[in-house]
Amino acid sequence: MAINQELRRDSTAASLGVKARIMFGDSAVRVFLSLPAPMPKRLVLQLVHPTRAPLDRRIVVDASPAGWYEGRLAGWGAGRWGVLLEDEARTWRLTGELKADNTGSLELSARPQRE
C-alpha cells in the first residue's frame, strides 16, 4: 500500500504539472517552484546518499518574499545523491538524481506514471 501512495503522489505531481529548479550552494539551497495551484508555505527537500544512510539530509525550505524557497544545507559532500522534493502535506512529490560537488543545480519535473 505504501508503494501505491508514493505512486499516487507522483501522479498528482504530474497532473498538477509541478516543476522545480533546485540551486545548491556551500551552505544554502534555493528552490524555484512552478505550480499552477496555490503555492505551499514550505517544502521538504531530502538528499539521499546511495550507500551511506547516516549522510542523508532532510531540509525544510520556506517561501521567501522574493518568490522562491530557501533553506540551510550543511554537512553534505560531493558525489551522487537521490533527491526528493515534496510539499509539507505530502500530496505530491518530485524525484531525481544529483551528481554534485556541493554546488550546482537540478531541474525536476513530474513524470507521468506508466500503466
CATH number of 40's domain: 2.60.40
In a domain, 42, yes or no: yes
Structure-model confidence comparison of residues 70 and 5, the more confident one: 70
**Model pLDDT for residues 20-65, shown as the tens digit of each residue:** 999 988 789 999 999 887 889 999 999 999 898 888 999 999 999 8
Closest residue by Cα to residue 112 from 9, 11, 2, 31:
11
**Which residue range(s) make up the domain with 83?**
2-109
In a domain, 77, yes or no: yes
In a domain, 115, yes or no: no
pTM to 2 decimals? 0.87
Cβ distance 75 to 28 under 8 Å? Answer: no
Tally of structural domains, the chain: 1
In a domain, 114, yes or no: no
Q: What angle do CA 76, 56, 52 make, to 5 degrees?
A: 95
In a domain, 68, yes or no: yes
